Structure 1
C-alpha cells in the first residue's frame, strides 16, 4: 500500500510539473484542471475511472497536429490517457485505471469534405452526430446511424463504441458505413486507413479493429463515411399481440421481398411485445409495403398501427426516451431465433428491451440495482449463445459484476493486438474486455 501511494504521488507531481508544457502544445484554454471542469465533465469522468485515480486535467486540442504532439509528450512521460469526444459515453465500458489526463477531441469538429455526388463525407472525429446530420439533410442525404444521445454523441465516440442503432436492419453496423479514418497512435504518430472512396485495403483492417475498441488502440481524429439519399417518404408500423404471432410475423418479414429499414422487437414493462417496422423509400413503395404489412398483421390476428409525419417522429422519440429513464442499461445479443422467447423470459423483471430482429443485437434497460437479477438475465442469454455487457450502471454495481461478461476465445488475440498498438498501455487502460 505504501509503495502504491508513493507511485501515485510521484505521478501526480509529474503531471503538475508538466502542465505548462501541455499548455504550450495546445491552443488557448486547451488545458483545464479537473478541479475546474464543469460538474457534467467531472461526473462523466468519475463514472469512467477508478475513484482513486482521477485525472489531473482535460486537454482539448484543436487540430490533429496538436493532438499528436500531446500524445508524443504523454508517451515520453509514460502518462495514461483517457480519450473521448464530448464524454457522453465515457461511463460505458470498464473503469480506466491510473489515468493522468483526459484527451478530448471535442474541438476537432470540422467538416473536411462532402462529396455529394459520391455520397461520401469526411469529418473530424469531434463533430457531433446531430450537427453532421443537420448539414447532410440540407443536401438531401443522411448518415444511417441511430445512436444513443444523438444530440451530444460525436462521430468518433459512435465509432469507438460501435453504437449503430435501429437502422442496422437495412444498412448494417458502424463498420459497414465507415470507409476511411485517421488516428493518433499511442506514440503520437498519425496513421491512416481506407480513404474517401469505397474500396478494400490490404493487411490489417484498421477500421474493423478501431470500431468498438473504446479508445484502447488509438485516438480517432478523422472519419470518412458512405451516405444515403434522404428518403422521400417514411412510415412506421407497430404490430402487437400474441408472442407466437409476433415471432411468425418477424420470420415472414425477414424472408419476404419487403425492405424495411427497421425491424425491431420491443418489449415494455407491462409485458407488451411489439414489432416495429419502418419503411422509407419513394411514396409508392412505402404505401405498397405498408399495405402488405397490414395484410400480414390481419392474417396473424395482430393489432397494427401506422405512423407518419409528426406522429412517426413522436413515436421514435418515445422509443429513444424509454431507454433513457434511469436504471441499468445493457448491450445484449442473442440468436435471432431466440429473441421472442427471451422477451417472454424478461416479462418477470422490470425491464425494457429492443432487439434488432436480423442481428439479435439490442439494448436492455433494467429498473433495478440487484446484481442477482443482472446475473440471471446474463446467464439466460449465455445459455442461448448470447451476451450481456453493462453500459450504464451505478459504480457500486459495476464493481461487483464483470462488466463485459465475455466468455469467448478471442481474449489472447485481443491482448496481442493491444500490445502491438499500445505496448505501454497508455490508452484507456483497463476499459476493455479482460482489463485491456
Structure 2
C-alpha cells in the first residue's frame, strides 16, 4: 500500500476572509484526493470556515490595523514586535517539521504577505533542505504597489525556492502578466488552475422571480459604505416590495451593524444577518445580488448564474477587485458601480436593470481546486523522479 502523501498549507488573512476561504477550499480538495493536510493559519480565527478533515494549527493571530495595512496587530490589538515574530516563527517551523510533509503550499507569498518574511523565509529554507515540493498559491490579480523592485524580488524568490506557482485564474479573462510583469521570468513554474469556487449544493434550474435582493460584503470589515448606499437605494428602487437581506459579515463593526438592525426594526421588508452558513444557497436563489467584488463571491456568482451588481472595494492601493469586476462587466456578465460615486438612484436603477437582464454566461474554468490537486500531485511525482523542471 502506497504511503499517504502529506501536504502543509500556510495561509495568512489580514482584513477580509477571502484568502482563508480559498485556502479552505483547497485544503478540502487535497483531503478528498487522499492527502493528509496540515493547515497553518495565521489570521484571526473565523468560525464556520470548513477545512474538511484537514488538521488546522492556529498560529498566534495577526490582523491589519486598518484598510491601509498601516500596521500589524496581535490578538490584543498591540503592534507585533520582534519577540512575537520569534515565537511565531519557531511555532511554524516546529509544527511543520513535526508533520513531515512531502509538499508545502504557501498562500500568496512571495507575491504578497511580504511582512511575514520573518517566518516564511526560514520555512522556505527548511523546505528546500528537506527537498519538499514547494508551491505558491496565488489569485489571478495582484495589487499594483508601484514597486518594480518588489516585483523583481518576488520573481527571484520563486526561482530560488518554488517548484510551482498555482495561479487560481483563467488567462482567457486575465493573464497573470497583466498584474505581474515578471511572469515570463517564471513561466516554467506558472500553472493556471482555473478559479477556485465553493461547490454549490443547489443544482438545476432556479426560479428567481420570487427571490430577495441579497446585499453582502464578504467578511464585512469594510462593508459599511455599501450597506449605507443599499439602504438609501431600497427606498428609491422598483424592487422595494421585495425582501432585502443584508448579510453583514462577522467583521462589520458593531456600530455599523446596529444601523442595519435599526433599519430592519423600522422596515419589515429588511432582514439582517450577521453571518449565514448557507450563503452560497442564498446566492443561488436570490433575485439579484449586490456585493463587493471579492474573489470568492464573484466566482460563486458566476458559477451560480446569479444576476449581480458589484461595488468593488478600492480604498488605498486596492485595485484587484475593480479590475476583475471591470473585465467581467465588459463581457456583460455583471454590472459594476464605483464605490467613490455611489449614487443611490443609480444603484437602484442598476439593480433593476441587472435583475431584468439576468446573468449572462461566461466561459471560464471554475474547477480550480481540483486542478490544483492534479497539478500538485503531478509535480510531486516528477520531483521524486528527479525530472521536475527548475
What TM-score comes out, normalization by structure 1 length? 0.26
Greater share of strand residues, 1 or 2?
Answer: 1
Between Structure 1 and Structure 2, whose CA radius of gyration is higher?
1
TM-score between both structures, scaled by the size of structure 2: 0.28
